[in-house]
Structure 1
């Protein structure tokens, strides 16, 4: 329990007033809702079937008489000294509550404080007599949500979601941010307007100051698995009610060619060491030695593109030839830093020292080497297998609980925890599980499968704190799904969901349309770390690929529909957003002039590492060469090549079961949820005019429309069978 604020005490007293009459009542999904107007607030109170109440403050007027001017069904007009309010309430039987509040100031207003909009008043109107748990709340500019359960009285759980996209006009006028606006402590939580300081709301100009969605569930989870499932299900249910931003087709084949040219031709992307060429981590970063993670982070998407296009750029051969130079015979493992250049490290950071390993930096290259090995690359297979015993040694030494940094030669811990009391890199156990499964698939040696199981079990009990880095957690989710399919042990499926919950806790389900945020879409962007202040291209690209693999492994499996929905929607929006990591499509005024690492060339088709909140410049870390896999990962997964034809089929949802009959027809199956839309584009890829197409989805004819460059676009639903024929 926490102490409660004077605002909560006052609100509880107002709600206890016997003279307070409901001005609107409605039952939905077993919950009764009543609307009250007190002296300073308009409240929507939910009465749970098992007892207990949850109150939502839809309007607030500090210290002044708030009066109802007009009430018609679920729409309310209110007056106060500071201005007028228009509140719209909608309810359905899931039940989902939505309340949207518009405010028109009577005078130019500075807003130094605004109370939270959720209160648990208790059945005796003493909020301090209630008890509950907040499982998830907003961090930084992630989704403005709270997921909470009520334990006293034991009423149920709810997920509250503030549509922060709707607050753009407020933030633009006041020059405020939507970071950390949803939070609080039991029993007072929710959303509060970001306080303004120097900028004011203009008199007579109406702005939305809240657009809240709440979904209710009578279950109070009693264990980790039930909690995680409920969170994923409630988040997906709320998602279906959100005003989703539109997407547009992007010319990814053209973007890829520009990026490939700059990656190969720009000397700023390369370093020379002992006659070998290596990728820099960042554009014009010549002081940091080459890293194996960087080489493989670019190589694997390039290899995916080469397999898809049936052409092998010379750069692939160069990178592969140099991989053995990262192997240390004495230690018996690949190393993070190129051994021949370790003496160049400036040691200005903890990890930038010879033989210091960031725990996940060992396993991510091993994972990528195993992917190459399973494609038949013998050089990669040798490096991978020769490094496995050391990897297992480290896992045993740390008992499958890795620190942040350690020494490769002594295993001395350099940094144990991410922050005091938070532990080390918790999701590395999942990444290690993936590496061991790859080793088992490659060799069929049972010891690797045993290692995978031992590591996986250590993730149990970590809850929403398991997530350390997005790409690690995403690959872990797929590995755990595979482990479930191999062993049929339910624990591993639940742990797979645990990983996914950590990822969807760290996304931004809103568009930052204020400040610089007006220049790029941010809906469903993913943050690389729990506390990262920006989204990052490399981690997003890897999660995108990991999610595609997850859906492949999930074919024929009875996974949660909410999981399938959220994964496919993340993929759809990533394909729409990813172009905006390139500085070439952004206005120069929003780019950081002096990044932390290297230089920023706004004409170079090499992605920025970082995109920030709308009031901050982007590219402050640098232009990330190892994020260059962006386009190379998208093309093979979203463009279907049609044999013998001068067109491709683009779909922004993942597709499977692609079948083609030359010169006749093609068919495939869409992933996703049938309640949501996706786009298919028949892409003109040659000089010939597109043929006349007939398109059906689940047997029903679908009409397309022409878009720029001669392409034809169709709107489809998720989870459909699509057939395209032409003459």
Structure 2
């Protein structure tokens, strides 16, 4: 039997002893509205006669009187009055094909109020017995500043599942007025679940102003989900159903080519970005951090996208030459592999952190620089190829030693485990088998040797034992998803496709699907941000850029694959908002008052086009970790994926993942997203020729919605074949 609070233990009897204010049938579900005195409840009845009650309004220390009830068949509006203020609850069903309940609650206080407690808004109601005797399985719920959601199955009685989403964008005015946070607001313990309004202890809620205090969406399902594959698939499908009825924020355009030029100038000239050893320049991990030795990951994290940009621009960059010069010095003959730390500077490792010791390896750090070497080698760089192939057997030896299940830290010479788990019982770096598989597939593509394909499969199969817990670090999970998709395309084994969905579910559980418009968060767009770790309190530049790049490639690779449509929707929209949003990691884009004065590593120079590692929404200042030099590949990664040159006279920008090709006087762009969603196309004039372009999507001629002598802008569907003719 579960223990419950007084605000839930009487709810079942209160509902059963109250009259139905209103009843609505939607498809196979029935929704009943009750005023029980201190609460307005919406009770949903499932086809299996299961009942879930949703507390749409709470009268605090008072009782409700129904002032007005309006129902026109589409919208339901219930006006409630209490001694402390007035409420308005608006309810509706925005999608006739899916039983989505949407209710929004507004509260206007009569006097300024401190609110020290608020009950959660979901309880199961059994047909027989009491709520304390019900049982359920929570599959996913909000952590920190991620989306305000909970996905669960009711296992006693076995009546189905529910997906609940609180649109936390709507809570921004409340949080701004009361100096509270929307993080960790949706969750709870069975049987008391759902949303809990942030309690106020600093500023009272002002009187006389209507505030949104709940904006909830609910999807019910008659099925109980137990297997990982069905949980992930339903999570992704339900998230898209909610996404399509949400009001999404405006997308901003950033001039990425201009940002790239500024970033190259600042990286090249900033003395705080570089250190020297044996005549070779090396990037610091953080601006003005001269104490930490150079890292192979840092050099390659910037060099790999810079090489992509160099190929796109057709210009030779001295910055590429500088970064490439010192790579061979990372090769350590003691282990026959490149090392994380520059061996010639290993004496500078001070042991201040677990990994800052000679020969201590953080598992994902071994594979990451090798991945980037492989990418550069695939573009024809022989130095990168030699370094990669000289190192790859060591990586395979480590994989075999740990049986494709890596710890957090180990000794590179002895392979002794230094730290086995991220937390007690949580296992090591769970997604490393997937990133290792990605590395092996890159080497397989380079060499055509089947032993690397076999290694990829062996590692990938380890992921099936992790259930919903694959994600350790978001960028590595994104690489894992791509590797699994590739393995599915090669082998046609359904297991790999299901595991790929599990990776994607982990990623989209870890996003912030709302726009924080309070505190410092109101200074930048943060809708659809993704967090680097399951428990990270901030979003991080480098990890976000790598997730963006990996998912861009992923969506392109889904062509001709029988694929879950909701994945295409989410990836297309994530990329669109990432391109709009991630420029705000540059401190030049932010007001200086939101930048932290205390920095963990190095220092912040707010006038440099070098990104911050950490962005917080809400009331915390950003840049607390430092200015992340290794995230400086951001602009160089965006441009080749979103911009297309047409001769020397025009530049095309599109904010969706795409595959494109030019033939004669025609540019063809293939979009694999969602036909119901939209993306932007801009054609910009660079030279002297006029913008006399014809644009078609699926053979239908399109007119620009905005047109000038220098730029034409079009709205496209997220799926279809686009042709531009000149």
Same fold (TM over 0.5): yes
3-state SS in 2 of match to 1:459:
helix
SS in 1 for 2:161: strand
Conserved 8 A contact 2:690-2:709: no
Alignment match, 1:648: 651
1:586 aligned residue (586, 590, 602): 590
Aligned: 1:343 with 2:347:
yes
| Cα gap change, 1:331 to 1:224, in 2 (>3 Å) | same
Report how far residue 320 of structure 1 moved.
1.7
Aligned-residue offset at 1:125: 5.7
Aligned to 2:664: 661
**Residue in 2 that maps onto 1:489:** 493
The answer for the alignment partner of 1:568 in structure 2 is 572
The corresponding residue for 2:53 is: 55
Cα shift readout 1:544-575 (whole Å, capped 9, x = no counterpart): 11112212321211111011111111100000
C-alpha distance after superposition, 1:370-400 (max 9, x if no partner): 1112222111111111112211111121121
- Counterpart among 18, 37, 40 of residue 39 in structure 1: 37
2:679 aligned with 1:675: no
CA contact (8 A) 1:12 1:125 kept: no
For normalisation by structure 1, the TM-score amounts to 0.97
Distance in 1 of aligned mates of 2:558 and 2:695: 27
Where does residue 212 of structure 2 map in the other structure?
Answer: 208
Question: Shift in Å at residue 706 of structure 1?
Answer: 3.7
Alpha-carbon RMSD across the aligned residues, in angstroms, is 1.4
SS in 1 for 2:536: coil
> Post-superposition shift, 1:413?
1.4
Q: Are the counterparts in 2 of residues 647 and 690 from structure 1 also a CA contact under 8 Å?
A: no
Cα 1:293–1:699 shift into 2, 3 Å: same
Residue 467 (structure 1) aligns with: 471
Give distance in 2, aligned partners of 1:420 and 1:208: 40
1:358 is matched with which residue: 353, 359, 362?
362
Distance in 2, matches of 1:516 and 1:591, equals 9
**Matches of 1:29 and 1:625 in 2, distance apart?**
54
Contact 1:56 1:117 in 2 (8 A): yes
Question: 2:711: which partner in 1?
Answer: 711
Cα distance in 1, alignment partners of residues 579 and 708 from structure 2: 18
* CA distance in 2 between partners of 1:629 and 1:641 (Å): 20
Structure 2: how far apart are the matches of 1:175 and 1:709? 47
TM-score (norm 2): 0.97
Q: Which SS does the other structure have where 1:72 is aligned?
A: strand
Conserved 8 A contact 2:264-2:319: no
Residue 692 of structure 1 and its aligned partner are, at CA, apart by 2.8
Tell me how far apart the structure 2 counterparts of residues 618 and 671 of structure 1 sit (CA, whole Å): 35
2:695 is the alignment partner of 1:695 = yes
Residues 1:115 and 2:119 are matched in the alignment: yes
Structure 2: which 5+ runs fail to align? none
* CA shift for structure 1 position 724: 2.4
After TM superposition, the structure 1 stretch with the greater mean CA deviation from structure 2, 132-141 or 218-227, is 218-227
Q: Which residue of 2 aligns with 1:253?
A: 257
Verify the 8 A CA contact 2:263 2:610 in the aligned structure 1: yes
Render the CA deviation track for 1:233-276: whole Å, top value 9, x for unaligned: 11111111111001022111111111111011111111111211
Q: Does the CA contact (< 8 Å) of 2:556 and 2:672 recur in 1?
A: no
* Correspondence 1:23 to 2:21: yes
- What's 1:85 paired with? 87
Q: Is 2:223 the counterpart of 1:222? A: no
Aligned to 1:624: 628
Counterpart among 513, 518, 526 of residue 517 in structure 2: 513
Query: 1:70 maps to which residue?
Result: 68
**Which residue does 1:334 correspond to in 2?**
338
1:374-385 matches, cutoff 5 A: 374-385=378-389
Q: How does 1:250-289 map to 2 (within 5 A)?
A: 250-289=254-293
How far apart, in 2, do the equivalents of 1:138 and 1:709 lie? 48
Q: Secondary structure at the match of 1:463?
A: coil
1:606 aligns with 2:610: yes
Alignment match, 1:176: 180
Name the SS for the 1:71 alignment partner: strand
Q: Please say if residues 533 and 612 of structure 1, whose CA atoms lie closer than 8 Å, have aligned partners that are also in contact.
A: yes
Instruction: Tell me the alpha carbon deviations over residues 255-309 of structure 1, each in whole angstroms, 9 at most, x when there is no partner.
Output: 1111111011111111111211001101111010000000000001101101111
**Equivalent residue number for residue 306 of structure 1:** 310
Q: In 1, distance between residues paired with 2:24 and 2:2?
A: 32
Shift of 1:585: 1.2
Equivalent residues in 2 for 1:92-111, closer than 5 Å:
92-93=95-96, 94-111=98-115
Question: Does the Cα contact within 8 Å between 2:175 and 2:182 map onto a contact in 1?
Answer: yes
Superposition deviation, residue 173 in structure 1 = 0.7
Q: Aligned match of 1:534 in 529, 532, 538?
A: 538
- The structural deviation recorded for 1:152 is 2.0
CA contact (8 A) 2:705 2:715 kept: no
Task: Please give the alpha-carbon distance, in whole angstroms, between the structure 2 residues aligned to 1:456 and 1:390.
Answer: 19
Find the partner of 1:402 among 383, 389, 406.
406
2:463 aligned counterpart, secondary structure: coil
How far did 1:707 drift? 6.8
Give the equivalent residue in structure 1 for 2:301.
297
Return 5+ residue gaps in structure 1 as ranges. none
Deviates more, 1:713-722 or 1:171-180: 713-722
How many pairs are equivalent? 720
Instruction: Give the Cα–Cα distance (whole angstroms) in 2 for the partners of residues 649 and 603 of structure 1.
Output: 29
Distance 1:135 1:264 in 2: 48
How far 1:76 sits from its partner (Å)? 0.7
